[in-house]
């Protein structure tokens, strides 16, 4: 893009201030700024501006009318049927694994991608190791590659790939791993002007895990899935070391239900747990965020004493590939986050705000839920499959993840008659115990 083209585009979209310090910039800075402007998409920027004037309109709607969904519990012969179906799909090579790992992990405060966090209680192996080794175990068990699509962001793509290379892809064949990056969006002040992080750079942040759909399409990953004959796409987040990747019962349940979007749900640890809660409104489901629920709604009980809205979503899903393809070209709702964003003043001096000063824009993957022609919900046991790595200390921290990983492995070993001392620090390689 040339200076003149940039000037024209910015004036059309009301962002001419981006070039205010052009005269002060070096040749390298000018080149970088033009390249950044070249990534701007006028339609998306206009959507962001419009979203500022009607913040979170959809979310202020009452959620009182929301009904709890029917959540399946698999047991006995029904479970066996689902497992058999899931195993058949895995054996036929119709399953892919999709990981979103583009987040910034700001709460954890770890230098580097969350997947590289040394979570192994004994060896300090990275979180990616546990995901990769489960995928390897399944591909060995079913004698079929399980293609793995990994979404990164501009900020962590190179270092994520470096972690895979340094660890020899954790034993996987790199031909079956595809990295792709999510989009970035500029931050905006409340007047709709994009935020300058320095004289030569607009502040940009990742477009949320809902940026996945556009990124899958742009990168050719959806096309690659189609070429490989993939039908079911298992989706998970990078920060859950306990996740049961492409669990055959879950895949089988999704396939038998002919669902487009199937969600694993677990009973909330307490009525106010910070997880999304799926609800039925009329004929369609929507994920209701915990911030949208009133105290009464959180505490509402069933006749049996259980919470009415008992189940929350830890973002473990199976998607029908064709559903992702159908939705990839559609706009998703924008969510706004009001944050402290470093910027510059009229003289170009850096300002580090002490209060939120600007908006970041994100799309959320669960906004696909109302679009599914058929959705299904499956209950699972939180202690077996969900222990997220979110914070540096306290709940959902490295300490609780390691504790929960070892507790799970202890249960697995106890079933095989092996007892491990309560104070032992140890590890299991998923390749050795998924058989
Ligand atoms: P979180 O919402 O927990 O965000 O992401 P985070 O970036 O990991 O952590 P904080 O909020 O900054 O502390 C849930 C999942 O979604 C992915 C993350 O990598 C994680 O797997 N994600 C999030 C993306 O892939 N892209 C995004 O833009 C945001």
* Bigger pLDDT: 77 vs 155: 77
**Ligand 1 in contact with 209 (CB < 6 A)?**
yes
What's the pLDDT band for 251 if we cut at 50, 70, 90?
A: very high
Each as own residue / partner, the long-range contacts of residues 70-79 (CB below 8 Å, 24 or more positions apart, any chain) are: 70/377, 71/265, 71/311, 71/377, 71/378, 71/379, 72/253, 72/376, 72/377, 72/378, 72/379, 73/378, 73/379, 74/249, 74/253, 74/378, 79/249
- CATH class of the domain comprising 68-407: alpha beta
CB contact at 8 A, 315 and 309: no
Per-residue pLDDT of 1-55, as tens digits, reads 999 999 999 999 999 999 999 999 999 999 999 999 998 988 889 989 999 987 5
- Summarize pLDDT for 190-216 with one digit per residue, the tens: 999 999 999 999 999 999 999 999 999
The residues facing 294 across adjacent strands are none
Q: Is the CB of 102 under 6 A from ligand 1?
A: yes
Which of the listed residues 182, 184, 206, 209 should we mutate to test ligand 1's pocket, taking the one with most ligand atoms within 8 A of CB? 209
Q: What is the pLDDT of residue 80?
A: 98
What would the pLDDT profile of 84-119 be if each residue is shown by its tens digit? 999 999 999 999 999 999 998 989 999 999 999 999
pLDDT in tens, 304-326: 999 999 999 999 999 999 999 99
| Cα 240 to ligand 1 centroid, rounded to whole Å | 11
How far is CA 374 from its chain centroid? 21
**Arithmetic mean of pLDDT, 258-285:** 95
Q: Is 397 in the pocket of ligand 1 (CB under 6 A)?
A: no
Residues in the chain: 435
Contact at 8 Å (CB) between 425 and 121? yes
Distance from the CA of 103 to the center of ligand 1, in angstroms? 3
The CB of 238 under 6 Å from ligand 1? The reply is yes
DSSP β-ladder status, 335-339 and 277-281: unpaired
Orientation of helix 248-256 relative to helix 76-91, angle to 10°? 100
The answer, yes or no, to whether residue 59 has pLDDT greater than 50, is: no
pLDDT higher than 70, residue 163: yes
> Does the reported pTM lie above 0.85?
yes
Axis-axis angle for helices 127-141, 157-166 (nearest 10): 60
Average pLDDT, rounded, for the chain: 94
Neighbours of 382 (CB within 10 A): 18
Out of 58-67, 83-92, 229-238, pick the least confident. Answer: 58-67
8 A C-beta contact, residue 133 and residue 122:
no
């Amino acid at each position: 893009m040339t200076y003149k083209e940039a000037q024209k585009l910015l004036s059309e979209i009301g962002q001419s201030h981006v070039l205010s310090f052009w005269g002060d910039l070096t040749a390298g800075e000018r080149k970088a700024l033009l390249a950044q402007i070249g990534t701007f998409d006028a339609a998306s920027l206009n959507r962001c501006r419009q979203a500022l004037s009607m913040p979170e309109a959809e979310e202020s709607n009452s959620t009182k009318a929301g009904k709890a969904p029917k959540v399946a519990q698999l047991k006995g012969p029904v479970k066996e049927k689902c497992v058999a179906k899931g195993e058949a799909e895995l054996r036929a090579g119709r399953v892919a694994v999709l990981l979103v790992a583009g987040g910034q992990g700001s709460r954890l405060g770890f230098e580097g991608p969350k997947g590289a966090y040394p979570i192994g209680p004994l060896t300090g192996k990275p979180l990616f190791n546990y995901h990769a080794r489960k995928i390897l175990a399944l591909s060995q068990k079913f004698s079929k590659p399980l293609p793995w699509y990994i979404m990164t962001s501009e900020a962590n793509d190179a270092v994520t790939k470096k972690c895979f290379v340094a660890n020899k892809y954790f034993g996987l064949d790199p031909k079956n791993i595809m990295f792709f990056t999510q989009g970035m969006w500029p931050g905006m002040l409340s007047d709709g002007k994009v935020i300058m992080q320095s004289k030569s750079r607009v502040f940009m942040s990742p477009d949320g895990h809902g940026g996945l759909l556009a990124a899958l399409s742009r990168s050719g990953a959806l096309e690659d899935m189609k070429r490989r004959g993939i039908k079911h796409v298992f989706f998970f987040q990078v920060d859950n070391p306990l996740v049961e990747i492409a669990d055959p019962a879950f895949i089988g349940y999704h396939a038998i239900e002919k669902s487009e979007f199937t969600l694993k749900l677990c009973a909330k640890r307490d009525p106010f747990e910070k997880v999304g809660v799926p609800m039925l409104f009329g004929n369609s489901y929507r994920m209701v965020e915990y911030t949208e629920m009133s105290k009464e709604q959180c505490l509402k009980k069933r006749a049996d004493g259980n919470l009415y809205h008992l189940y929350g979503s830890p973002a473990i899903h199976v998607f029908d590939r064709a559903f992702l393809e159908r939705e990839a070209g559609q706009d998703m709702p924008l969510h706004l986050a009001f944050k402290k964003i470093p910027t510059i003043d009229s003289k170009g001096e850096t300002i580090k705000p002490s209060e939120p000063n600007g908006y970041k824009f994100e799309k959320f993957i669960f906004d696909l839920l109302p679009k599914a022609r058929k959705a299904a919900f499956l209950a699972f046991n939180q202690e077996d499959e969900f222990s997220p790595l979110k914070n540096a200390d306290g709940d959902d921290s490295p300490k609780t993840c390691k504790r929960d990983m070892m507790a799970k492995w202890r249960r697995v070993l106890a079933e095989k008659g092996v007892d491990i001392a309560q104070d032992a620090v140890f590890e299991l390689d998923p390749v050795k115990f998924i058989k």
